[in-house]
Structure 1
């Protein structure tokens, strides 16, 4: 029998992932203001930070819900990436969804699904 999805767990997971991202970005900005940081390092940092934030948010949401780990992970990753995309547009980024954004979204969904599968068994 299918269990009902707990949407509040998904929301809390996305919120926790987003707060972790903002906290790490503030620290990174402070560090980058004192030293010169290469564009490649910045790009890698954003990908790693996104991955870790989705991992954290998904594990939290899945452990709270207790079931449907892969689905929780995909939904947390999808809503997290949507929130990041909206914040980027508000901050002046152009409204474009190219191959780079598609690859990041696919990576986020894969990480979300896998971390949800792992978290449901913790």
Structure 2
């Protein structure tokens, strides 16, 4: 039996991206019509990233029915690599230890989501 279910990881990835888009839309509307400082939005976006990949990891693991940490963790890893690659299109930057740490945290958060998701079954 395969350890990674590609369909489950893809489903978790799509859900994570959808959640991020919805949360960013809501955050954009809130910052447009309130006096919330723009400087706080980057913190909220980071929080929304991790919530989205946690949920995506749980969904991937639920779909996979085994190896929840691996299926969930792959969601976070692919998600963050995609975000970095998309970011490079608009803002060239150097890969740094901080970026590697963020990718590692994303893997851990989504793997934890996967552990939770596998136990929901």
Interval of TM-score (by shorter of Structure 1 and Structure 2): 0.7 to 0.9
User: Any gaps of 5 or more consecutive residues in structure 2?
Assistant: none
- TM-score normalised to the size of structure 1? 0.86
* Cα separation, 1, equivalents of 2:39 and 2:109: 22
Tell me the matched-pair count: 119
TM-score normalised by the chain length of structure 2: 0.87
Q: Per the alignment, do residues 39 and 98 of structure 1 end up closer, same or farther by CA in structure 2, a change over 3 Å counting?
A: farther
Which residue of the partner structure matches residue 105 of structure 1?
103
> Where does structure 1 lack aligned partners over 5 or more consecutive residues?
none
Give the Cα–Cα distance (whole angstroms) in 2 for the partners of residues 78 and 69 of structure 1.
14
Question: How large is the Cα RMSD of the aligned pairs?
Answer: 1.6
SS of equivalent to 1:95: coil
CA distance in 2, matches of 1:80, 1:67: 21
- Provide the rounded CA distance (Å) in 1 between the counterparts of 2:93 and 2:60: 29
